[in-house]
């Protein structure tokens, strides 16, 4: 392995995201971010003390999209947050953890267009072969059909604000067929569904576009990169890179290009101003 690279970025509040990067044998970076904040207003950097906030691995190559910011979700510590983007020419809705939130949050504008770099750190991944999902309980059917009915009418759905209105709409307009069980054929299913508790966690399903075995390494553990198309409503679809180790795969199975897979992942990313030059030091964008 090569020698690690360390750099930091300071927010307007003095918070420091500290990035540690190391390039593995394949030439690709791996990284970790440590977020700290000063305990006092001491100006002498040698005397200043910091409080640890959080630490997490970060992606080094991302899927790239353009759009605007629909919503910011700020963590209780006030220093971290999630972004819900509105991607251009699609109603596809999801949320991701903003790696540079303490740096950029105060600069975001609701109507402004941005470039989003997004990737997933997968908790697990498995094949869709011979897998079907059936929703057969009455409340589950009602909730699913109501959400779809609301999306067809409004092009956007937020469970926190729209759930009851969607259920009321469904109760007033559903047919007998709408009460039948819902069957998902997983053999060619595209989806990216936010977790109910943590919206930057998501369940995904889609087609494997590329497989990179031993793409990089993280603390001497080999990391795969699997590019998965999770939506097909845009030209070329929405393709996200997912990073995971051998332990995150199902048994001895390993994904192949063209296969449909599903899993869960933590979505993270960076919001970049279209008017600013792309930062090259983080290997942003597609390989």
pLDDT in tens, 122-137: 999 999 887 777 888 9
- Of 3-12, 26-35, 136-145, where does the model show the most confidence? 136-145
In this prediction, residue 45 carries a pLDDT of 63
Q: How confident is the model over 33-64, as pLDDT tens digits?
A: 778 777 766 666 666 777 888 888 877 788 88
Q: Identify the bridge partners of residue 130 per DSSP, sorted by sequence position.
A: none
The answer, yes or no, to whether residue 181 has pLDDT greater than 80, is yes
CA gap 254, 74 in Å, rounded: 37
Each residue's pLDDT tens digit, 189-244: 888 888 878 889 999 999 999 999 888 777 778 889 999 999 887 666 889 999 99
- Cross-strand bridge partners of residue 122: 265
Q: Which residue in 104, 73, 42, 40 sits closest to 195, CA to CA?
A: 73
φ, ψ for residue 104, nearest 5 deg: -110, -15
| pLDDT recorded at residue 160 | 80
Higher pLDDT, 251 or 165: 165
In terms of C-beta density within 10 A (0-12 exposed, 13-18 middle, 19 or more buried), how is residue 221 classed? exposed
CB 89 within 8 A of CB 78: no
| pTM of the entire predicted model | 0.73
CB 204 within 8 A of CB 228: yes
Task: Please check the confidence at residue 256 and state whether its pLDDT lies above 90.
Answer: yes
Q: Are strands 260-273 and 238-244 parallel, antiparallel or unpaired?
A: unpaired
């Amino acid at each position: 392995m090569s020698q690690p690279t360390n750099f930091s970025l300071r927010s307007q509040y003095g918070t420091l995201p500290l990035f540690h990067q190391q390039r593995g044998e394949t030439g690709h970076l791996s990284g970790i971010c440590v977020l700290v904040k000063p305990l006092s207003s001491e100006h002498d950097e040698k005397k200043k003390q910091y409080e640890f906030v959080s630490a997490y691995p970060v992606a080094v190559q991302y899927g790239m999209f353009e759009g605007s910011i629909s919503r910011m979700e700020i963590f209780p510590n006030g220093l971290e947050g999630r972004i819900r983007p509105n991607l251009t020419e699609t109603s596809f809705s999801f949320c991701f953890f903003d790696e540079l939130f303490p740096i950029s949050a105060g600069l975001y504008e609701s109507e402004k267009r941005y470039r989003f770099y997004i990737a997933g750190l997968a908790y697990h991944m498995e094949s869709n072969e011979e897998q079907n999902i059936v929703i057969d309980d009455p409340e589950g059917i009602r909730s699913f059909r109501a959400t779809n009915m609301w999306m067809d009418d409004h092009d956007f759905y937020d469970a926190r604000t729209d759930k009851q209105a969607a259920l009321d709409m469904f109760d007033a307009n559903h047919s007998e067929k709408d009460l039948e069980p819902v069957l998902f054929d997983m053999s060619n299913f595209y989806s990216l569904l936010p977790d109910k508790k943590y919206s930057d966690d998501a369940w995904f399903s889609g087609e494997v576009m590329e497989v990179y075995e031993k793409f990089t390494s993280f603390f001497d553990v080999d990391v795969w990169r699997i590019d998965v198309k999770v939506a097909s409503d845009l030209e070329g679809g929405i393709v996200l890179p997912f990073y995971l180790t051998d332990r995150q795969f199902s048994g001895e199975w390993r994904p192949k290009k063209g296969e449909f897979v599903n899993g869960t992942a933590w979505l993270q990313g960076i919001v970049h101003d279209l008017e600013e030059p792309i930062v090259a030091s983080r290997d942003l964008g597609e390989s």
